[in-house]
Structure 1
């Protein structure tokens, strides 16, 4: 079991606001709720313990009650120091908890991948913290403002949250600190005093802590950009599906062409073009998936240039139209409905023709055939129908 403690009892004086900074709006939502939702989205997290000032308990309970789909939670009263607040939270952590994460309520940009990485590291090493390598040169300075040294930058990391620990280990570290009256700068510093090594988990510079008004502005810009990217990825990866259906009458004096294959038979299909019902259904399915109308719109039977036209050539044109709109074919599945002639022997060639026309792999095309057991126009040999389903995606 994984329990997350979210301390949010600080007043944030550097924000120059009279209210708790975690209640400030950030992209239409309080800062605190971004952190809560981030951990609720992680499948490995089981419980949340939010720590707030005594006069903010009911406010936070109301906020959390309004959120849908969040993990089991409870609100705990904080203390005069961050360390005291987390000590209060540890008192209510279930004995079944194996890993405890501690995360600042004022770090709203934490990602699910970061959370999962810390949990994994905490399980493996017992203690782990998110951190980023320091970019700037750091100087040590004395009380009078004189530089006393320049630490090797490659050994310096800026520590963030979440920090993850074996639950019993963290309890032990906090008890030792209490008994000795020690106040650390973070949870890891308490664990280090037990002689335990803490593993660094590389984090992100975006995982900033809201401390000043400028931080809030930066966080808003980052969140808006993140949402824009997610929408873009969703749109780009979206699979669209279309369906097509066509039917033509069997008549004398016409060639029977199905899937671009000429099939020997006493009758052929009547139509303005070559009346290939299979390809007509596939073209309609493809155009439908892209919301680009149907073959009647693109190849009207009132246009003489399409009289007797090869449906294979028109299928190639449909492929070009899709490409012009940024789409690629994912797969095609079609069914021929005909009592006779028997077409099973010709299906491999149909699949090949369709794949070649659309410049896709043979494995992306599947043509089948069935009968209606003598029922209806197809069963009586009066005509042939075809159904098709096609899926496409944005390139």
Structure 2
């Protein structure tokens, strides 16, 4: 796929897209984790506040499940000129993102515009991290993502005789990075990349983030150093950790 967007007649804009249609079963908080309160606000409310503080984001689109009835309760007053909502979520993250990209097109976004996909559950996001990603990627041919070099020893697991997890091998951690979000790609590249993956069930199972869909087309996304605090709330203990961090970290745009 060509990555040529050369023209002097336009200035690419930057949109944020937040897939927010999941049920958060692993979180163990009795409902969708994006609506679980942390430091007095829903997880997703913190996330959207950080994105709203990034001046270069034209608008943020939140993709909800068609049956979602809670968003407006937890994030009152979000919708407006820079806050958009679409209840077009699909059965998977990739489907929700594809449907969200179609919604952005319907609202006037163009193929050459940038889209930053961000996890609703990465609620400790700081605006300066988003600005760092934009600074690095806005002139890149492919785009990129926030990520961190893996510091820990990695173990591949196998199943023991009693069904327990055991170490099968130690994995070389050299040149291994843990992917975060936002992940920033041109709409005209990301949408067909995800659609191609979804068209092949075997490939779709391997597409766990937007970058992996771009990689499947043969491209190499840029790795932009992120921050440890930009972790994704996944397990029950993550919510308590996020609460503690929010109580001690100055939220400076």
What interval of TM-score do these two structures reach, taking the shorter chain for normalisation? 0.7 to 0.9
What are structure 2's unaligned runs of at least 5 residues? 1-12
CA distance in 2, matches of 1:77, 1:61: 16
Q: Secondary structure of the equivalent of 1:55? A: coil
For 2:208, the equivalent position in structure 1 comes to 185
Larger Cα-atom Rg: 1
CA distance in 1, matches of 2:45, 2:159: 40
Aligned residue-pair number: 228
Which structure has the highest helix share of the two? 1
For 2:20, the equivalent position in structure 1 comes to 8
For 2:241, the equivalent position in structure 1 comes to 218
Greater RCO structure (CA 8 Å; 6+ sep): 2
Shift of 1:107: 0.6
For 2:47, the equivalent position in structure 1 comes to 35
For 1:206, the equivalent position in structure 2 comes to 229
Cα 1:62–1:141, aligned 2, differ >3 Å: closer, same or farther?
A: closer
1:166 pairs with 2:186: yes
**Which of 109, 115, 130 lines up with 1:95 in the alignment?**
109
**Which of 38, 48, 51 lines up with 1:26 in the alignment?**
38
Shift of 1:63: 4.3
CA distance in 2, matches of 1:215, 1:10: 17
Cα 1:193–1:68, aligned 2, differ >3 Å: closer, same or farther?
A: closer
**RMSD of Structure 2 on Structure 1 (CA):** 2.1
Q: Deviations over 1:290-329 (max 9, x none)?
A: xxxxxxxxxxxxxxxxxxxxxxxxxxxxxxxxxxxxxxxx
CA distance in 1, matches of 2:159, 2:196: 31
Q: Secondary structure of the equivalent of 2:148? A: strand
For 2:170, the equivalent position in structure 1 comes to 150
TM-score (norm 1): 0.54
Q: Deviations over 1:95-114 (max 9, x none)?
A: 33610111010110111111
Shift of 1:198: 1.1
TM-score (norm 2): 0.82
Q: Secondary structure of the equivalent of 1:162? A: strand
CA distance in 2, matches of 1:91, 1:61: 22
Shift of 1:196: 0.5
CA distance in 1, matches of 2:16, 2:100: 10
Are the equivalent residues in 2 in contact too, given 1:31–1:108 (CA < 8 A)? yes
For 1:83, the equivalent position in structure 2 comes to 94
For 2:4, the equivalent position in structure 1 comes to none
Are the equivalent residues in 2 in contact too, given 1:50–1:74 (CA < 8 A)? yes
CA distance in 2, matches of 1:194, 1:133: 24
**Which of 115, 119, 130 lines up with 2:146 in the alignment?**
130
For 2:123, the equivalent position in structure 1 comes to 108
CA distance in 2, matches of 1:42, 1:129: 16
Shift of 1:221: 0.8
Q: Deviations over 1:191-220 (max 9, x none)?
A: 001100111111111111111221011101
Q: Secondary structure of the equivalent of 1:139? A: strand
